[in-house]
Structure 1
Amino acid sequence: MTKSWNKRNSNDYRSYRSVTLENGLSVLLIRDPEIAQSVAALSVSAGSFFDPPSIQGLAHLIEHVLFRGSKAFPQLDELNDYVSFNGGGEVNAHTELDHTTFSFALNSVKSEHLSGALERFAHQFIDPLMDKETLGREIITLESEFVNCKHTDAERLDQLMAHTSKAGHIFNRFTWGNKKSLSQVSLDELGEAAVKFFNDHYQASSMKLVVLGNEHCDTLERLVSQHFTLIHNGEGLKREIPMITQPWDPKMYTLESVQSNENVVITWMLPRNNQKMPETYLLRLLSNESEGSLCSFLKGKGWITSLNVDVGPVSGFSGIKSSSSYSSTYGSQLFRVDFEVTKEGLKQKYSLVHHLYQYINLLRGKIMDEYMEEYGDLQRMKFQSLYIDQKLISSFLQFAESLAGLFFNLISI
């Protein structure tokens, strides 16, 4: 099935086409005649939530392993080397709770270079090398990453959220993975589990692919069809999608900073509405720093130096940036208000939270209704000017990654 999109933005010079391959892979093709790169991102709806309880970190491990080589291209780091030798660029991947995203950006717009990169990229999902040697090597890499990241406050806060969630809740797990968590079984058993995880979850029907280049969509579609139709389609597999309930009881925790940060963070679990996204209105109002705002009031009291609000899902268009890997998944999302506080503000943390709830109550009713209308007008104006300048997209790699991830949240393309 092929479908070209009618542009809703008169300033958008790009062409768009959605394609569903014979194996069920959903593809979004974007032609940008002014781009100087060729970019692709593929998301698969399998992340750390699907780790076996006895092998926590398996999804993250597989993310690493898939980049190391395939039966068709067995050389170590073949895709990365190909990108480096054909104009340079970037290769990236990241594991979330409910999906994993792989991507590359090639500093070349030659069709043969894009074809070669797509071929190597596709074979990561067709016939990856998952031997014991590769698994063992990547466990060491994960251990190194874990040692480095555990000394950052953001990662420590994420893990606090995991450990303090209710027993048996799907959040109550160690998603990163390290040598200890991945050595609970033998290397042979780990290999069997990795192959099973890949076969169960890495199917074409569970994947979303975005390709961005300056070739015509006909050419992009031909290249995608040529290289990605061999991905296993996994017909008949039924996966249980976990329902997300409230992970925590109302409590306050104190986390000792390793980076000399002083913050008061309040987090709520909210339902997610991908069409109306009502939480964005609250985010904008709470983030407001003008006179009369919560931020202005608390700064005036000398309690805070900044106020940051974030909510999932992450969007390359909305400007919303989520700081937590737990931000958005399966119909739920975390809404977080983060106060960077002064010494006095830390002493007044209970009063600070009280003022936050007072402000939220103040926003109910007429004030919110008036703001929603004004905000809607501003967003429509912003949308009409969104694509005038390429500089509005700081990274085409991140742009493609965002689209591939958001693909799962869209009702229809």
Structure 2
Amino acid sequence: MPSIRKPLCDSRVYSSFQLPNGMRAIVASESDKSVAAAAALCVLAGSIHEPKDIPGLAHLCEHMLLHGTLQPWGTTFSEHIKAHAGQHNAVTTMLQTCFAFEIQSDHLDAALRLFCRFFLSPTFCQSHQHQELKAIDAEHRMNAQSDFRRQWAVLLQDANPRHQYHWASGCSKSLLQGAAALKCDLHQAMEKFHESTYKASRMALAVVGPQPVEKLEAWVRACFSAVPSAPLQVSSTALTGDQVSGCEPAFLQEDFCGQVFIVPLKDLHQLKLSWKIPWQVASWKSKPTAYVSYLVGQEGPGSLLAALKARSLAQNLSIACFDYHGVLSTLELTVDLVNTHEQTILEVGKLAFAFISMLRSLGVQKWVLEEYTHLQQLNYNFQFDTSTYNLVQDLACNLHYYPVEEVLAADSLLYEQDLQASLEILKGMTVENTRLTVLCKGLESLCSSLEPWYEARFLKFQSIKRSWKESWKEIELSSWSALVQQEGLHPESYASAERSTRGCLFLLALLRVVLGKGCGLGAPRHVLCKCVEQALRAETFEARMAGAMYKLDMADHCFLLQFLGFRDKMVLLVSSMLCSMNRISGEVFLQAKAQQELDYGTVVIILFLL
């Protein structure tokens, strides 16, 4: 099997192979013998494969497989894991279900022998079904407190009814009523779903432990080779991304676009601009959304966020490509507004579309992609090591989407620079293609619609408000002066990385900035701390992108700043931050004060809910 590309700081030994039944596996020998061992199995059997009329069936199957399977030994899997300082969990998404556990390394062999029983011969003891329905209801109540989940549920109200994409977290109501509507037995429907999807050829396994890879592979072969595979005449291929539901898209363009008001649980003032794009996981080598995400997400001088903050319109900004459970992708720009007044939304939209128009008119700049490629390679090679528990889950899931040699790196690295694909993303980010979402508690009186599962209040308009839309479409390309400049804090002296340890490459500097007792600053120190963070944000963004970090704390009568980064640029970073700290304006103080008040309000709400 091909060798696996890994970060320079990763000392593990990896090996990959495929079992005779079609199951793919990867094992890794951990050099640190004190680290816990872990394993994960990911199967391409998710909610997209269940009947839409019984939402949550895949989730129920996950629960019943774990808790309804009787073990031939005196102890259950859960008891064995807990007895040896471990943990275990399973997660069902739209496309896949992932089972994982962590345990003391000297008990890994026994844990694998118990773990494999779930996939060799699950019993689905029907007497456990009522208990698992109650557990799913408990999860449902918890999910109902998540604003992200509530936004997703509102988005699903506009899904194409001819596509398999649907709300599928499930609860006892959706499961029992769905089965009753189809006039079928819920338990039998769940077993039928399992029989059609839980096949070895749709499974990927990852195991990490201190044992040699040869021993780990032998354990895997002994435990999982007998997992049933699909009959030759039955296809075992699971469709992903744009292939799901054939030629039907998850959202019709006219249904996706428009204007949505949502009442959140938290005290949010957010504006989201979203664009529907082709499923991006298939383009993992070129990552077409990376270019616009990198530039729009900048925080330094000349950036969109700097312009918004200079006009006191927003406090934070982020942009990201969301892969919705292997079914579709969206590009979403989220702005934390100072308020949700109509004029504020209008002005933020003007700046956002002016910036996007500028990027589109300039065309894709090759130096930007080269810089991004350089930074991603740097961050990948010297990333902080992840826990074995998270690592096995990433490995098992990634085996379904990427070549085995790239399962560690595919999410991070830019392998190819596809300028045309990046430009196509920019061309699609027009006002006409936009879904605009405003989240604010003050919208409650306007939001007359109720999402059925989480009871989120919302209001959907088929089109963005005409005055906003017309104003944004008239934005001139000259509205923005210049593209963000090339960064100056990227490290250059790390050529000896392969021969050095991480500690030798980084330098830690401590700086105390004394606040005299008679300085006259009556504000609480944590507000002053936020002032410094706000003042440093723009100037240090490029440093953070280049792997340099800082931590800000308050001690008696002083700020404590800690710097971590590559040594050749440390002086520039410290100098930049000191200059910024001397320019804390009254406007910055008011912004920090407002943010602290918002934080206090959120804490009070959380305590009240608890």
TM-score above 0.5: yes
Question: Which aligned pairs between 1:136-175 and structure 2 lie closer than 5 A?
Answer: 136-171=130-165, 173-175=166-168
Which residue of 1 is the match for residue 455 of structure 2? none
Structure 1 residue 9 displacement after superposition: 5.0
Report SS of the residue matched to 1:211.
strand
Which residue of 2 is the match for residue 51 of structure 1? 50
Report SS of the residue matched to 1:67.
helix
Which residue of 2 is the match for residue 317 of structure 1? none
The alpha-carbon distance between structure 1 residues 310 and 73, as it changes in their structure 2 partners (threshold 3 A), is: farther
Report SS of the residue matched to 2:256.
coil
Alignment counterpart, residue 86 of structure 2, candidates 80, 86, 89: 89
Report SS of the residue matched to 1:276.
coil
For residues 249 and 334 of structure 1, the distance between their equivalents in structure 2, rounded to whole angstroms, comes to 11
Structure 1 residue 10 displacement after superposition: 4.9
Which residue of 1 is the match for residue 584 of structure 2? none
Report SS of the residue matched to 2:10.
coil
Structure 1 residue 204 displacement after superposition: 0.6
Which residue of 1 is the match for residue 353 of structure 2? 357
Structure 1 residue 114 displacement after superposition: 0.4
Structure 1 residue 194 displacement after superposition: 0.9
Identity %: 23
Amino acid at match of 2:148: A
For normalisation by structure 1, the TM-score amounts to 0.86
For residues 23 and 120 of structure 2, the distance between their equivalents in structure 1, rounded to whole angstroms, comes to 13
Which residue of 1 is the match for residue 507 of structure 2? none
Q: Is 1:117 aligned to 2:111, yes or no?
A: yes
Alignment counterpart, residue 317 of structure 2, candidates 298, 307, 312: 307
Which residue of 2 is the match for residue 250 of structure 1? 257
Structure 1 residue 152 displacement after superposition: 2.2
For residues 156 and 284 of structure 2, the distance between their equivalents in structure 1, rounded to whole angstroms, comes to 25
Report SS of the residue matched to 1:175.
coil
For residues 93 and 83 of structure 2, the distance between their equivalents in structure 1, rounded to whole angstroms, comes to 30
CA contact (8 A) 2:68 2:128 kept: no
Alignment counterpart, residue 373 of structure 2, candidates 371, 376, 389: 376
Question: Which aligned pairs between 1:330-349 and structure 2 lie closer than 5 A?
Answer: 330=327, 332-343=328-339, 347-349=343-345
Q: Is 1:18 aligned to 2:16, yes or no?
A: yes
CA contact (8 A) 2:2 2:404 kept: no
Structure 1 residue 363 displacement after superposition: 2.3
User: Cα deviation per residue 1:362-392 (whole Å; 9 max; x = unaligned)?
Assistant: 2234563221011112222333334xxxxx1
**Runs of 4 or more above 6 Å deviation:** none
User: Cα deviation per residue 1:145-201 (whole Å; 9 max; x = unaligned)?
Assistant: 112221321111010011122332332x22111111111225971111111111111
Which residue of 2 is the match for residue 100 of structure 1? 97
Structure 1 residue 91 displacement after superposition: 0.6
Q: Is 1:31 aligned to 2:24, yes or no?
A: no
Amino acid at match of 2:380: F
Q: Is 1:65 aligned to 2:69, yes or no?
A: no
Structure 1 residue 96 displacement after superposition: 1.0
The alpha-carbon distance between structure 1 residues 223 and 362, as it changes in their structure 2 partners (threshold 3 A), is: same
Amino acid at match of 1:79: F
The alpha-carbon distance between structure 1 residues 129 and 168, as it changes in their structure 2 partners (threshold 3 A), is: same
User: Which has the higher mean CA deviation after the structures are superposed, 49-58 or 8-17?
Assistant: 8-17
Which residue of 2 is the match for residue 180 of structure 1? 173
For residues 307 and 8 of structure 1, the distance between their equivalents in structure 2, rounded to whole angstroms, comes to 32
Report SS of the residue matched to 1:182.
helix
User: Cα deviation per residue 1:1-23 (whole Å; 9 max; x = unaligned)?
Assistant: xx262656554322111110111
For residues 371 and 341 of structure 2, the distance between their equivalents in structure 1, rounded to whole angstroms, comes to 33
Which residue of 2 is the match for residue 323 of structure 1? none
For residues 310 and 345 of structure 1, the distance between their equivalents in structure 2, rounded to whole angstroms, comes to 25
Report SS of the residue matched to 2:260.
coil
User: Cα deviation per residue 1:252-298 (whole Å; 9 max; x = unaligned)?
Assistant: 11111122222112222222202221212322222211111111111
Amino acid at match of 1:252: Q
For residues 65 and 94 of structure 1, the distance between their equivalents in structure 2, rounded to whole angstroms, comes to 13
CA contact (8 A) 2:39 2:102 kept: yes
CA contact (8 A) 1:393 1:399 kept: no
Which residue of 1 is the match for residue 39 of structure 2? 40
Which residue of 2 is the match for residue 195 of structure 1? 191
CA contact (8 A) 1:302 1:344 kept: no
Amino acid at match of 1:270: I
Greater RCO, CA 8 A, separation 6+: 1
Which residue of 1 is the match for residue 393 of structure 2? 401
The alpha-carbon distance between structure 1 residues 304 and 59, as it changes in their structure 2 partners (threshold 3 A), is: same
Amino acid at match of 2:385: I
Amino acid at match of 1:59: A
User: Cα deviation per residue 1:332-381 (whole Å; 9 max; x = unaligned)?
Assistant: 42222211211156652243233222222322345632210111122223
Report SS of the residue matched to 1:208.
strand
Which residue of 2 is the match for residue 320 of structure 1? none
For normalisation by structure 2, the TM-score amounts to 0.60
For residues 257 and 321 of structure 2, the distance between their equivalents in structure 1, rounded to whole angstroms, comes to 19
CA contact (8 A) 1:295 1:306 kept: yes
Amino acid at match of 2:126: K
Which residue of 2 is the match for residue 267 of structure 1? 274
Structure 1 residue 56 displacement after superposition: 0.9
User: Which has the higher mean CA deviation after the structures are superposed, 395-404 or 90-99?
Assistant: 395-404
Question: Which aligned pairs between 1:209-220 and structure 2 lie closer than 5 A?
Answer: 209-220=205-216
Number of matched pairs:
386
- RMSD, matched Cα: 2.3
User: Which has the higher mean CA deviation after the structures are superposed, 4-13 or 201-210?
Assistant: 4-13
CA contact (8 A) 2:136 2:172 kept: yes
Which residue of 2 is the match for residue 322 of structure 1? none
Unaligned runs of 5+ in 2: 406-610
Report SS of the residue matched to 2:227.
coil
For residues 55 and 227 of structure 2, the distance between their equivalents in structure 1, rounded to whole angstroms, comes to 26
Structure 1 residue 73 displacement after superposition: 4.3
Structure (1 or 2) with the larger CA radius of gyration: 2
Structure 1 residue 64 displacement after superposition: 1.5
The alpha-carbon distance between structure 1 residues 46 and 353, as it changes in their structure 2 partners (threshold 3 A), is: farther
For residues 10 and 143 of structure 2, the distance between their equivalents in structure 1, rounded to whole angstroms, comes to 40
Report SS of the residue matched to 2:31.
coil
Alignment counterpart, residue 292 of structure 1, candidates 302, 305, 326: 302
Alignment counterpart, residue 287 of structure 2, candidates 272, 277, 287: 277
For residues 290 and 388 of structure 2, the distance between their equivalents in structure 1, rounded to whole angstroms, comes to 24
Unaligned runs of 5+ in 1: 314-325, 387-391
